[in-house]
């Protein structure tokens, strides 16, 4: 592979790479993105996270906090290819931003700290990428740090992620003396002089020649074990050529059978050019991806990533900017042209494309069209939301939208000044439009406006966005856990008859339902087991809609209900008075009655907490976690630092960061990721429900 800054020559699908940068917070994602933009000539001055001058962390809060909050899209050219790159958040509270990004990406670079290896959130985003089938390569960053070790980091990939690492580089120098790498495919040294912007190529340093040969041999053997053609050549010739290795590495990456591992130091601008070369060599283009699948008229349909196909795209992000309302879209098939009308598959309405922009964070380059495989932003779409399918009016298609996680934390919000109440309502509506993982509702008992999200930081950022963007001072209540209710023992044969006569057309619906718990205390299933056509299919669907209405508030404390299955077993209709409206009402009232009869219990979100502390602070941490109803699942210690893993109810973690700092003299840190919903102990439930 050769480092190349040739200008872009085409944007055909084969010459595009859509990739994300994934990692734990502080692993160096944004710095890598910044160095990529510099190496490709997209920017001419390197920005720094600690200075608040990076291109992708352009939001004021991101620069103040020094972390990525919002997924940012950038575009650059390398080796005659267009690279559309999304820098994703690393904090667990913004996992939904990662989820929406992964839905539209073809490949990813997973970044790991050379000292810490696989960290909790890097493992979480890796699993997210697994679910989406996104091919990945790995970049072990920060090799210039004290304690950095490539082999240890690679071992953590193997142990924590269960992957086969395919290491294609050998570091030259250790820690502060790290200056370059040996390319094990070309068996050449790549060195970055201190202060130099360009890589220098040369022979492998004599002290590393034996080690490089051993590692090249290990790479060949590992690849031969995984790839049939490589095995055949290896058995015949006793070795693999560089070309065979490169071809096999690409195929293994696309199949997910191995992970190519590179290394470097993004902060010192070492290792970026080979990383870009690896993106082109190993990660897929849109043309390598299978046709996108959707539904049209109730039937499955596929569209190839071809500019000549009927247009189909997925909106995955909406944001308001001084330029206007930007809708970020991934074009899967066909061509999107400025001024054309597109069909919003969710509403059945057409909208006109005002402008098409190639986005570089907060800077935009206007385009006349976008081809299959491209990621662009569109101005002029008023109704599209994240997850909306856009398609050619004459060729409708509905694509599967990204999943949206249920919120786990809520706060009451109100405007400090009553005259700002309307502005606050508008700002909240805009927030939900931009971030589907935020929810806004009005509390039926108190009349308060309640904002729900994925964590304290998520809500803090949302409220601060209103303050800064709208100039509205917001009063925020104490964080509250988003509890759920679930069925422990169900009900069989509950009969409900809905009859209403008010002088006009009447309403009649008769339903019989069974309610039972699901194996997992999450989700909702509905099925109709009515025979003989006693309840037509359209009325059965109305019963399901009514049941979903009833799930909004449970009988214990008015919390949402989850983890149950409803079966419609029988029913009856009236020739004149039955309607979908009547059966929806019957479904709603029937399930409410069933829940009042069934055994229902309270659930709470539980998170996996990973606490990192000095060894002498472990005792205090364990005692504190036990007091918070935590269940310790593991504890390890290395070089004076201990890592404790525990499952802790989210309700017990409010204020934990400051408590941990106090108990460890400021040296303790922790991360948390949502895991399951678990039953609340009766003594705790009594307190929650009582007040």
Residue list for the binding site = 23-30, 87-91, 141-144
**Alpha-carbon gap, residue 370 to 305, rounded angstroms:** 12
The one-character DSSP state at 592 is H
**518-536: b or e for each residue (b if 16 or more CB lie within 10 Å)?**
eeebeebebebebeeeebe
Question: Do residues 122 and 112 lie in contact, with contact meaning Cβ atoms separated by under 8 Å?
Answer: yes
- Per-position b or e across 168-201, b if 16+ CB within 10 A of its CB: bbbbbbebeebbbbbbbbeeebbbbeeeeeebee
For residue 56 the two structure tokens come to 């992708």
Q: What is the CA radius of gyration of the chain?
A: 28
For every residue of 192-231, which 3-state class applies, written as one string? CCCCCCCCEEECCCHHHHHHHHHHHHHHHHHHHHHCHHHH
Angle at 546 between CA 541 and CA 547, to 5 degrees: 95
Is residue 348 within a helix (H) or strand (E), and if so which, with residue range? none
Torsion of CA 581, 582, 587, 589, to 10 degrees: 110
Q: Are 313 and 389 in contact (CB under 8 A)?
A: yes
CA 228 distance to own-chain centroid: 34
Q: Is 380 helix (H, G, I), strand (E, B) or coil?
A: coil
Work out the burial of residue 627: count CB atoms within 10 Å of its CB; fewer than 13 is exposed, 13-18 middle, 19 or more buried.
exposed
Q: Which residue has tokens 């209540």?
A: 477
Distances (CA, A) of 19 to 356, 478, 513: 20, 39, 48
- In contact, 519 and 499? CB cutoff 8 Å: no
CA 392 to each of CA 82, 310, 366, 372, 610: distance values in angstroms, whole numbers, following the listed order? 25, 6, 22, 13, 48
SS3 19: strand
SS3 161: helix
Q: Which residues are annotated binding-site positions for GTP?
A: 23-30, 87-91, 141-144
Other CB atoms within a 10 A radius of the CB of residue 514 amount to 17
Residue with tokens 């992000």: 317
DSSP secondary structure, 411-480, as one string = EEEEESSGGGHHHHHHHHHHHHHH-TT-EEEE-TTT--EEEEESSHHHHHHHHHHHHHHH---EEE---E
Between CA 168 and CA 153 the distance in angstroms is 14
Distance CA 168, CA 689 (A): 57
């Amino acid at each position: 592979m050769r480092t190349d800054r040739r200008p872009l020559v085409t944007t055909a699908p084969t010459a595009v790479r859509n990739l994300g940068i994934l990692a734990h917070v502080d692993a160096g994602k944004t710095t890598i993105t910044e160095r990529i933009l510099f190496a490709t000539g997209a920017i001419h001055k390197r920005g720094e996270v600690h200075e608040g001058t990076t291109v992708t962390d352009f939001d004021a809060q991101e620069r103040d906090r020094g972390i990525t909050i919002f997924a940012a899209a950038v575009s650059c050219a390398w080796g005659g290819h267009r690279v559309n790159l999304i820098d994703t958040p690393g904090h667990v509270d913004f996992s939904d931003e990662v989820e929406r990004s992964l839905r539209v990406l073809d490949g990813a670079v997973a970044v790991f700290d050379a000292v810490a290896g696989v960290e909790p959130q890097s493992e979480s985003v890796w699993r997210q990428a697994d679910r989406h089938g996104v091919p990945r390569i790995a970049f072990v960053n920060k090799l210039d740090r004290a304690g950095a070790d490539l082999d240890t980091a690679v071992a953590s990939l193997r142990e924590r992620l269960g992957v086969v690492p395919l290491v294609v580089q050998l570091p030259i120098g250790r820690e502060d003396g790290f200056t370059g790498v040996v390319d094990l495919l070309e068996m050449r040294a790549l060195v970055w002089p201190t202060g130099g912007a360009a890589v220098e190529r040369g022979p492998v340093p004599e002290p590393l020649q034996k080690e490089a040969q051993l590692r090249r041999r290990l790479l060949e053997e590992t690849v031969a074990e995984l790839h049939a053609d490589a095995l055949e050549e290896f058995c015949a010739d006793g070795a693999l050529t560089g070309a065979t290795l490169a071809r096999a590495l690409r195929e293994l990456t696309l199949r997910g059978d191995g992970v190519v591992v590179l290394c470097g130091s993004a902060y010192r601008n070492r290792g970026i050019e080979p990383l870009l070369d690896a993106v082109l060599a190993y990660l897929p283009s849109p043309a390598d991806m299978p046709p996108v699948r959707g539904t049209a008229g109730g039937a499955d349909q596929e569209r190839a990533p071809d500019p000549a196909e009927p247009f189909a795209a997925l909106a995955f992000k909406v944001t308001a900017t001084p330029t206007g309302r930007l809708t970020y879209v991934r074009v899967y098939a066909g061509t999107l042209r400025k001024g054309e009308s597109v069909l919003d598959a969710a509403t059945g309405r057409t909208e006109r494309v005002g402008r098409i922009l190639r986005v570089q964070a907060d800077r935009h380059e206007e385009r006349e069209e976008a081809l299959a495989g491209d990621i662009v932003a569109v101005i002029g779409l008023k109704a599209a939301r994240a997850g909306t399918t856009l398609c050619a009016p004459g060729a409708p298609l509905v694509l599967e939208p990204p999943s949206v996680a249920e919120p786990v934390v809520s706060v009451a919000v109100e405007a400090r000044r009553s005259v700002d109440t309307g502005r606050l309502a508008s700002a909240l509506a805009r927030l939900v439009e931009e971030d589907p993982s935020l929810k806004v509702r009005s509390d039926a008992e108190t009349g308060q406006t309640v904002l729900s999200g994925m964590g304290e930081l998520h809500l803090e950022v949302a409220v601060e966005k209103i303050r800064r963007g709208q100039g509205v001072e917001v009063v925020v209540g104490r964080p509250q856990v988003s509890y759920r209710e679930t069925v422990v023992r169900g009900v069989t044969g509950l009969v409900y008859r809905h009859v209403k006569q008010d002088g006009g057309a009447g309403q009649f619906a008769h339903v019989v339902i069974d309610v039972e718990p699901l194996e997992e205390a999450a989700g909702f299933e509905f099925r109709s087991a009515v025979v003989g056509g006693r309840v037509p299919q359209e009325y059965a669907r109305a019963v399901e809609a009514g049941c979903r209405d009833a799930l909004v508030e449970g009988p214990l404390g008015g919390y949402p209900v989850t983890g149950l299955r409803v079966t419609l077993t029988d029913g009856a209709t009236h020739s004149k008075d039955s309607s979908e409206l009547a059966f929806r009402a019957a479904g709603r009232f029937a399930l409410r009655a069933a829940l009042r009869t069934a055994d229902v219990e309270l659930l709470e979100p539980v998170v996996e907490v990973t606490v990192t502390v000095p060894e002498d602070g472990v005792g205090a941490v364990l005692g504190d976690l036990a007091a918070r109803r935590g269940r310790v699942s593991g504890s390890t210690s290395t070089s004076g630092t201990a890592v404790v893993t525990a499952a802790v109810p989210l309700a017990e973690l409010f204020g934990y960061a400051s408590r941990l700092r106090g108990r460890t003299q400021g040296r303790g840190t922790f991360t948390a990721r949502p895991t399951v919903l678990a039953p609340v102990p009766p003594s705790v439930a009594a307190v929650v429900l009582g007040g």
